[in-house]
Amino acid sequence: MSRAAEPTVDLAAAEAQGLTQEEFENLCHILGRDPNHTELGIASALWSEHCSYKSSKAYLREFPTQGAHVLQGPGENAGVVELGHGWVAVFKMESHNHPSYIEPYQGAATGVGGILRDIFTMGARPIALMNALRFGSIDAPRMRHLVDGVVRGIGDYGNCMGVPTIGGETDFHPSFNGNILVNAFALGVARRDSILRARASGPGNPILYVGSRTGRDGIHGATMASESFDADSEEKLPTVQVGDPFTEKILLEACLQALKSGAVVALQDMGAAGLTSSSFEMASRGRTGLVLNLDKVPRREPGLTPWEIMLSESQERMVLVAQRGKEDVLRHVFERWGLEVETIGEVTATGRAVIRDQGKVVADLPIRPLTDGAPVYRRPALEPAGLAERQTKAKVPDPGDPAKALTKMLDTPELGSKSWIWQQYDHTVRTNTVRGPGGDAAVVALKGTPLGIAMTCDVNPVYCYLDPRTGAMQAVAEAVRNLACVGAEPLGVSDCLNFGNPENPEVSWQFRESVRGISEACRALDVPVISGNVSFYNETEGESIHPTPAISMAGVLPDLTNLPATGFVEAKDQVILLGVDHGEHGGSAYMRLLHGVEQGLPPAVDLAAEGSLAALLRYLAFDGALRSAHDVSTGGLGVALAEACFEHGLGADLKLPVDPVGFFSETQARAVISVTPKAVDGVLAEAERRGVPALVVGAVGGDSLKLNLDGTKSKIQVAELHSVWSTALPRALEL
Amino acid sequence: MKARVTIYPRPEVLDPQGKAVHQALTRVGFDGVNSVRVGKSFDIELKTRSQPLAMKQLEAMCDKLLANRVMEVYEIEILGKAGK
Amino acid sequence: MKARVTIYPRPEVLDPQGKAVHQALTRVGFDGVNSVRVGKSFDIELKTRSQPLAMKQLEAMCDKLLANRVMEVYEIEILGKAGK
Amino acid sequence: MKCGVVVFPGSNCDHDVYHVLKHLLNVETVFLWHDDADLKGSDLVVLPGGFSYGDYLRAGAMAGLSPIVDEVRRHAEAGGLVLGICNGFQILLEMGLLPGAMRRNLGQRFLCRDVHLEVVRDDLAFTSQYSVGQILRMPVAHAEGNYFDTPKNLDALEKNRQVVFRYCDPGGGPDDPNGSERGIAGICNRDGNVFGLMPHPERCSEELLGNVDGLALFSSVMKSAAAAMEVEA
Ligand SMILES: Nc1ncnc2c1ncn2[C@@H]1O[C@H](COP(=O)(O)OP(=O)(O)O)[C@@H](O)[C@H]1O
Ligand SMILES: [Mg+2]
């Protein structure tokens, strides 16, 4: 194409691509001239919120990222922690919110595809997936369609890949009516010495393009993820990215095989901002430069401009830096798997990206000034108006018959079983799933070792709305607790920070507070942040979502012999309550679901108490004393006890130290465990030694849950409760 | 009134199914194929006997449920008055 | 030569997909529907410009790969000479 | 005894079956690449689960045309053992080595959960370690497992004793998680040397996974192979 046909570059063009006046001037200053159209496209993609983290970077530095187990913290495609026995775990969580709202099936599917590529670019084989989903009210427009599409999209992609989806979170809240959240998590394993970092090093080394051909898919995706939805969003729709899990599966196998050849210097997937961000990031990390010849890029359709090729977000594509002279080895591997492979450029020592098309240079940009030199903003932050009012304690109505109230709570999509979702996910493939979905944390065995790897993801957006700092701390604390319930030691966090528009000072404040809360909790509980993702601009028509700093956490179990169950296992086992209730109902499910009130301070987080509780649970699990353990979280003791009964359809006869209101209180740092009668004394003594309040509240047995709440008696058949709980979600979906 | 609705991915949208079928055909020796696109087909029998009404109903069905306008296009063909 | 191959479950085969679509249509208010069958559609562009040859190739493709004769039937329609 | 596990592009239970055969049962086991028309002397050929070629047309359709498939057919016709699990079963149907076809699940969705199976045949090389009427628990994970054939063919299938496993409830009563005709979960050919089933025995062959109901299927094969060898000797 002739350069003359290119659109003119001026401030208006820059603004149309998402740059501010200041950023545009800065760009011209860096270049020492005006950029051309392609260069402007590249720079605005690199400086988009999604790629540059310009509004979050300054705050994210607060996270603790070091630790004895950490091999790679934030900065690469995914973080890496040591598991032992020469193995490492590689994991990350990422958002795909905007695409999933526009086209739920493809948006969610490609979200899974993207997070999987982040794992295998590091040289690790993905072995587990999780997903954290936030939908609006089930009756909101399009919501059932969104739920259906997102779940099918996640399932079809992960299932076809043969990576089990073993856990996640699903919630419904009106603050997500116009902007759902789809966060995908993947974890892989590798031998310690086979981890690869995405650094383009060694000038003269060829750059290879592998995988699907390039089309016009998702051009501007990164910019779209950096804007809010409004009425004319439909107009700006890019070509929807379609996931091709079959191609990704062979890409995975071929890449892992290619890595074994020793001929790969670096591997990077083309995610947001496609070839632009992948090539710039690789060269930036390697402190090198590169030359790309766009003629060589395999294309799906004719007539793509350099601008489009550089910004396309076609899926299932990789850039690979090969060792010079060993290209043929790699070419052979990829061709055997039937994949396209092309040499599209080479690494240079110039520190510049020189992009050529049909013999002409179409872009020539310095790399590090555009990556490391991207703008950094500390946006003005302001406590939300009306916060104090929101935090005022509301009156808590008496529930009447506790069993009836419990039934009503379990009869909601929020607290009902999520099995309708996870039965659509293959969670048993790879034959490592020791604990699939349905418990506190999922666990996979690591073949060839005695080790287990546990994982969970947690956050309560209502808590975060009422007090982002406490809410974020609670998310970390709950994740640690969930891991402890299976006896796992936490190794690291990958966070996925979903917020509204950061240019809104109230959102900026929520973000800052949340990051502080995560940092504080991670420090206290000794879990470093090793990777993560920020998703801003989650709002519609000016209405922000509730702040949702999702926390995914992975941990390790030294062996799997004594793995406790989530629910009661055998009659006559003694039920012990760990922790004490403080009657906290700010943002509780009881107040929200039964009384429509979302007010007060969220439950306080006592990090020391959480630490002791988790240590106790791990000790008891390792010791073999724990028959079952389940933490108390959303819905309080009532919901935790009901869930404990469901696993084997076993009832319990319990005298609890709470009144009917306290039955649903969400005070933290608590768990319900069951142990054999013989083990009780030892468990109580250990709890006392560690300063964890412990009380025997009754025994497992029978087919009903019998309650004595401070004198109020109530009883319900487990089967009756179970049938309500297990069908609540499909009924709400009108299936 | 019987009608057939045919739904295809928009031309610019990736069609992994079409790609896979094309490759499979080539693999088993059908090398005379230039391209394959895969779509869905719905044979719908309507109560109405009025063609304009049928068209209107079918268009509404496509817009509302059958097709995903973000990435698909549809065609409607009336097959015959009687349920043939 | 452009052709369209349409593949449907045999009439005697229960079509749960068609049933599900029918129910969904009814749920969103389209109550004028008697029945729905769901099939697949393939738009195939062939190199040949001979219609009889094209038919022969397409039939072979259907028998060998595109349709499962245990439960499916196919129709072939030539759409036009040029890759329109 | 030597086992061969076929790897199609998109197979994803290949390593799971390999693990059971090689590591749990200590049998010589090799992978067989779809593009090589060579069974490497395998006595048992396993077509594993997964999404061969993405299952983009119909599950198993495209894999049914791979170069290795002709060898598998020859092996089967010569009386060799062939086991198809999940996608492998679908491929055997598409190849015509087993009768019938798979529709989408009645519920239209992918289904991953434990199901119960009634053992209908215990006189096959694949089932000798089970007994007729025994109830097994096994995981399924599929979207197209809704077995179909015409009533006439189904009658023939039953008459020829080709139904091997049938879905049931935990007590042995009728159940049908995916809508399969007559609750059919697994069938064999007339000679009983080709067996296909939708549930995944390889996913329940280890104590660690909380269920070993599937292991006997693989050990049955080993046992009958050992017996056959004794006869030969
Ligand atoms: N989208 C999902 N995908 C997979 N599993 C899910 C999903 N949503 C919920 N689950 C599973 O359902 C169970 C209940 O979830 P949740 O109530 O969030 O657990 P917890 O309160 O212990 O974190 C968990 O085992 C979780 O892994
Ligand atoms: Mg929990």
Residues 111-170 of D with CB under 8 A from C: 146, 148-150
How many Å lie between the centroid of ligand 1 and the Cα of residue D52? 30
Q: What is the pTM of this model?
A: 0.95
Nearest to A345 by CA among A333, A329, A357: A357
Number of neighbours of residue A541 by Cβ within 10 angstroms: 10
**CATH code of the region C2-80:** 3.30.1280.10
A489 ligand 1 Cβ < 6 A = no
D195 CA to centre of ligand 1 in angstroms: 37
Rg (CA), chain A: 26
Give me the phi and psi of A211, to 5 degrees please. 110, -155
Which residue in the set A245, A249, A424 is minimally distant from D109, CB to CB?
Answer: A424
Q: Which residues of C touch B (CB under 8 A)?
A: 4, 6-8, 18, 21, 24-25, 28, 30, 32-48, 57, 60-61, 64-66, 83
Please tell me the distance between residue A633's alpha carbon and the centre of ligand 2 in angstroms: 6
Question: Which of D55, D110, D208 lies nearest to residue A434, judging by beta carbons?
Answer: D208
At A567, is the pLDDT very low, low, confident or very high (cuts 50, 70, 90)?
very high
Is position D86 annotated as part of the catalytic site?
yes
Percent of chain A, pLDDT > 70?
97
Interface test with C, best of B53, B61, B62, B77 (most C CBs within 10 A): B61
Which ligand 1 atom minimizes the distance to the CA of A630? 22
Number of inter-chain CB pairs under 8 A, A vs D: 83
Nearest alpha-carbon partner for C5 in C68, C69, C79: C79
Question: Comparing C-alpha atoms, which of A581, A560, A549 is closest to residue A661?
Answer: A581
DSSP 3-state percent helix, strand, coil across chain B (nearest 5) = 35, 35, 30
Neighbours of D72 (CB within 10 A): 27
Q: A249 CB near a chain B CB, below 8 Å?
A: no
Instruction: Select from D52, D53, D55, D57 the residue whose CB has the most chain C CBs within 10 Å, as the one to mutate to test that interface.
Output: D57
Give yes or no for a contact between A184 and A494, defined as CB atoms under 8 angstroms apart: no
Nearest-CB residue to D110 (from A159, A162, A249): A159
Task: Assign B70 a pLDDT band (cuts: 50, 70, 90).
Answer: confident
Residue C83's pLDDT is what?
A: 40
User: A379: Cβ below 6 Å to ligand 1?
Assistant: no
Nearest to D148 among C20, C66, C71 (CB): C71
d(CA A216, CA C74) in angstroms, rounded, equals 34
Q: Which of A37, A69, A96, A585 is catalytic?
A: A96
Mean pLDDT of all residues belonging to chain A: 95
Find the mean pLDDT for residues A107-132: 97
Residue A58 has pLDDT above 60, yes or no: yes
The single-letter code of the amino acid at D72 is V
Q: Does ligand 1 have an atom closer than 6 angstroms to the CB of A167?
A: yes
Mark yes or no for CB contact B13/A300 under 8 Å: no
Per the listing, tokens 């779209």 go with A224
- Closest chain A CA to residue D16: A430
- Could you read off the pLDDT tens digit of each residue along chain C, which spans 84 residues? 999 999 999 998 888 899 999 999 998 899 999 999 999 999 999 999 999 999 999 999 999 999 999 999 999 999 976 443
Give A207's pLDDT tier (boundaries 50, 70, 90). Answer: very high
Q: Which of D94, D118, D144, D202 is catalytic?
A: D202
Which residues on chain A are in Cβ contact (under 8 Å) with B13?
A: 217, 239-240, 242
Residue A226 pLDDT greater than 70, yes or no: no
Select which of A37, A50, A98, A220 is catalytic. A50
Distance from CA of C37 to the nearest CA of B (A): 5
C46 backbone φψ class: left, alpha, beta (φ>0; ψ -120 to 50): beta
For chain B, the domains span 2-80
Residue that is written with structure tokens 């004490």 in the block:
A580
Residue spans per domain, chain D: 2-232
Query: Is residue B28 less than 8 Å (CB to CB) from chain D?
Result: yes
Chain B: closest CA distance from residue C2 (Å): 9
Q: How far is the CA of A727 from the centre of ligand 2 (A)?
A: 20
pLDDT of A3 above 50: no
The strand pairing partners of C73, in sequence order, are C8
Q: Which residues in chain D show pLDDT less than 50?
A: none
Inspect the interface and report whether the beta carbons of B24 and D62 lie closer than 8 Å.
yes
Q: Is the pLDDT at A673 greater than 80, yes or no?
A: yes
Predicted confidence (pLDDT) at residue A231 exceeds the cutoff of 50: no
Rounded Cα distance, A93 and A222, in Å: 17
In this prediction, residue A225 carries a pLDDT of: 59
Q: How close is the Cα of A132 to the center of ligand 1, in Å?
A: 8
Average pLDDT over residues A137-143: 95
Residue A8 exposure: Cα atoms within 13 Å on the Cβ side: 3
The single-letter code of the amino acid at A84 is G
Q: Which chains touch A (3 or more CB pairs under 8 A)?
A: B, D
Q: How many residues does chain D have?
A: 233
pLDDT at A473 over 70: yes
Residue from A590, A518, A678 nearest A62 by CA: A518
Structure tokens at D190: 């007339």
Mutate: best of D12, D33, D218, partner A, most A CBs <10 A: D12
D200 catalytic residue (yes or no): yes
pLDDT tens digits, A521-534: 999 999 999 999 99
ipTM: 0.94
pLDDT tens for A614-632 read: 999 999 999 999 999 999 9
Joined together, the tokens standing for residue A418 give 């999520």
Q: Supply A453's token pair.
A: 């790897």
Token pair for B37: 């696109």
Q: Which residues of D touch C14 (CB under 8 A)?
A: 103
Question: For residue A440, which atom of ligand 1 is closest to its CA?
Answer: 22
Please list every residue in chain B whose beta carbon sits closer than 8 Å to the beta carbon of residue D65. Answer: 24, 27-28
**CATH classification of D2-232 is 3.40.50.150, yes or no?**
no
| CA–CA dist B50, B38 (Å, integer) | 31
Residue D229's pLDDT is what? 78
Q: Which ligand is nearest to the CA of A168?
A: 1
Interface test with B, best of A148, A212, A216, A239 (most B CBs within 10 A): A239
**CB-CB neighbours of D228 under 10 Å:** 14
Distance A438 CA to ligand 1 centre (A): 6
pLDDT band at A228; cut points 50, 70, 90: low
Is B33 in CB contact (< 8 Å) with chain D? Answer: no
Whole-number pLDDT of residue A367: 96
For residue A223, pLDDT over 80 is answered with no
Of the candidates D3, D13, D86, D204, the residue annotated as catalytic is D86
The residue to mutate among A170, A172, A632, A672, having the most atoms of ligand 1 within 8 angstroms of its beta carbon, is: A170
Is D204 in the active site?
A: no
How does residue B83 score in pLDDT terms, banded at 50, 70 and 90? very low
Residue A222 clears pLDDT 70, i.e. is over it: no
Instruction: Give me the mean pLDDT over the A712-721 stretch.
Output: 97
Helix ranges (H only) for A142-213 are 143-161
A439 Cα: distance to centroid of ligand 2 (angstroms): 7
* Ligand 1 within 6 A of CB of A421: yes
D65 vs C: CB within 8 A: yes
